[in-house]
Structure 1
């Protein structure tokens, strides 16, 4: 059975191809992002490169700080030069940065590699979300975004296995060489087969290029969006997020994303280490990485279907609330089978809650500033992604690992509150809500 939803609308083959190609590079994105948490226990055990728990938290934050810069920059650049070029560039950047980590002889070089990798990782995710949202069939935006995000969790699962396979002394270098594979397997297929966004071409007035692309793939052109004034310049796309009454919703989504990504990256980086501090052996601790990401894959598909029916903000609110409960229960020592169940359910709700924040923002945005809106909500959330790994490192360094579960549960409660204030309704203005234009519409 295909991992992608069945699409029965005109242009379904093209949409499936776009989702499939983006899914592949986001899989590598997830592997590169989560592999640090998977190899961290072994790096700490062998004191690789002089690493300590405190420094481990700092290194984890370098990558997320790079992602902050990458996300904020890529959104505006993507609305300027196009989705495809940014996807190609980001994939190449984080792959080459992993090679730098693999050959590092000191923490300075390793930290630089993680920061540069973060630039590519931070730019790739919001750009691919924008791309698949713009090719999604009518009424399927949240499901398609959720499907894409399963790749991120699949990358997390793969990172858990990579951590297990490379647990021998010095094996962390092998793990980072594995993360160079996207340069070979991702860049060429994207360059050859991924089409540019039709919405981007139309928003830029490149009607002839849009018509040629639509003719090539046998798809309809999306209708132009007119309900908001178009952004005229690169900075204007950001300013447009605050016009009228939008400033309140924009800030609330930013705050939700801050706490959502604090959870995603704090838990992803420190779950194995905090689990060991709570008394679980190394094998079980690394298995938690696999289990939580398996839950994330299921959660993405379930949340996507629910969000297309009930609204992405409403689903994100409920999902964050269950995340708080699941993380809080991790602070209680239970039989191993129950712990695995709790980790699975926590992953089911945690990762898809944040993904539905992206889906909601994409659905509420216009064609000319969608990448900017998604990029900035992702980028502002990266402040939380920087803080989460740092916080986990400080708690582990002070031997207060179990307090980490309580801190992350509180973050989930705050995310629940902020997303509930956004209005809990996704307007019927997603990229496919307007009727498509026939190819003759542009002359």
Structure 2
């Protein structure tokens, strides 16, 4: 019979686990800063015609970063399996920091676009790795709460990006904002020194004694060894399309596509579209702060609401409310009313997509869960690439006032698809229950 951990060991383990979560939170904070900084400086770049930048080119540049994130997210798992989660996190911080230096030094759209693409690769690789790290070291029974707290860092980075732009663009220039995004280079050595290696990686590499020692030190459980290889992963993917499952799978994928189109489209173009609606630059950047404050609140509220009412219902409702909020932003209203709308749009928008992942996770079998969620996220990333491009095309064609409407339609489409998927799943569950009841009698 194993003995329970002593109060002293538990307290010490909690403090050390807090260190891991804190380091990952700071890394994701810098991730969010680098992601949102482009949207924060974009109105200035367009007004001053920096590099001769046009609206459609600006949309392309926004898509470069999200395309880089797609690449980074897809290759992160493979690279992490080779070099370890810790080294990958440090490498990602170094990559997107140096890439921001490329943007700060850029003398053409081409060089600037290269910098944003490289930054996207680092940004895309860091977030899933950080989630894996905090999951390994979260105190027992606190994994979901810790991941929710970690995700608030991304929106805190968005808030920071707006203040960096407000404080530096007028007195110093837009390049200074990207030099600030180089500063996380100073954090990389701290991360390398203090962050322990991922327990999952150590177990996967057969270093169980090292993993056990770390687990005892941090008062966490040693993850179970993964079974199977690439063949099982492809089998799990094929299972998503067996029978009528392909309908459900495609519904989740399309909902995720629309959700991330909405998230990254609004994140990139919010300040510029608000400027187009007649607000001053300072006010437009204040909307970024309020929007991301809403995102932080939303991340903390959505999980509790989903636990009580069901993730599919909350996801569909959240997307409907997001669409309403985004559409209202196309109307020039009183500043106070607009701020309230922006806040609640941030609350619902930034957690609606997360609820899609929660829905897929809940509806999937344990053996297929990681594959189902991973591919739903991956397909959604194509929407993340399209969103910034779409906003640029609308502005370039003189239809910037329709940008919010287009993003609202994306939100409604996600609401419809996730709603249909949830309804089909409920009907299937009811049918299975009836069959079991008949068989029992």
Match of residue 237 from structure 2: 241
Query: Which ranges of structure 1 fall in alignment gaps of 5 or more residues?
Result: 1-7, 426-443
Distance 1:131 1:329 in 2: 39
Distance 1:377 1:14 in 2: 33
Q: How does 1:65-76 map to 2 (within 5 A)?
A: 65-76=67-78
Per-residue deviation at 1:27?
0.6
Distance 2:332 2:160 in 1: 27
Q: How does 1:5-44 map to 2 (within 5 A)?
A: 11-44=13-46
Cα distance change, pair 369–326 in 1 and its aligned pair in 2 (3 A): closer
TM-align CA RMSD: 2.9
Alignment check: 8 A CA contact 2:13 2:217 kept: no
Query: Which ranges of structure 2 fall in alignment gaps of 5 or more residues?
Result: 1-9, 426-441
Q: Which has the higher mean CA deviation after the structures are superposed, 31-40 or 73-82?
A: 73-82
Distance 1:395 1:411 in 2: 15
Match of residue 160 from structure 1: 162
Q: How does 1:30-429 map to 2 (within 5 A)?
A: 30-137=32-139, 140-168=142-170, 171-185=173-187, 187-222=188-223, 230-233=227-230, 236-237=232-233, 239-243=235-239, 250-358=249-357, 370=370, 376-423=375-422
Distance 1:359 1:196 in 2: 27
Distance 1:314 1:202 in 2: 37
Cα distance change, pair 247–181 in 1 and its aligned pair in 2 (3 A): farther
Alignment check: 8 A CA contact 2:325 2:344 kept: yes
Match of residue 429 from structure 2: none
Structure with the largest fraction of helix: 2
Alignment check: 8 A CA contact 1:249 1:422 kept: yes
CA deviation digits over 1:245-266, x for unaligned, max 9?
5765554443332222111110
Please give the secondary structure, in 2, of the residue aligned with 1:75.
Answer: helix
Alignment check: 8 A CA contact 2:297 2:347 kept: yes
Per-residue deviation at 1:49?
1.4
Alignment check: 8 A CA contact 1:266 1:385 kept: yes
Q: Which has the higher mean CA deviation after the structures are superposed, 195-204 or 316-325?
A: 195-204
Alignment check: 8 A CA contact 2:70 2:382 kept: yes
Per-residue deviation at 1:420?
3.4
Alignment check: 8 A CA contact 1:71 1:378 kept: no
CA deviation digits over 1:80-136, x for unaligned, max 9?
543222212211111110001110111110000001111111111122223323444
Distance 2:181 2:328 in 1: 33
Q: Which has the higher mean CA deviation after the structures are superposed, 109-118 or 134-143?
A: 134-143
Q: Structure 2 length normalisation: TM-score? A: 0.84
Distance 1:151 1:381 in 2: 21
Distance 2:300 2:77 in 1: 25
Per-residue deviation at 1:241?
3.4
Q: Structure 1 length normalisation: TM-score? A: 0.84
Distance 1:361 1:198 in 2: 26
Alignment check: 8 A CA contact 1:324 1:410 kept: yes
Cα distance change, pair 393–268 in 1 and its aligned pair in 2 (3 A): same
Alignment check: 8 A CA contact 2:294 2:343 kept: yes
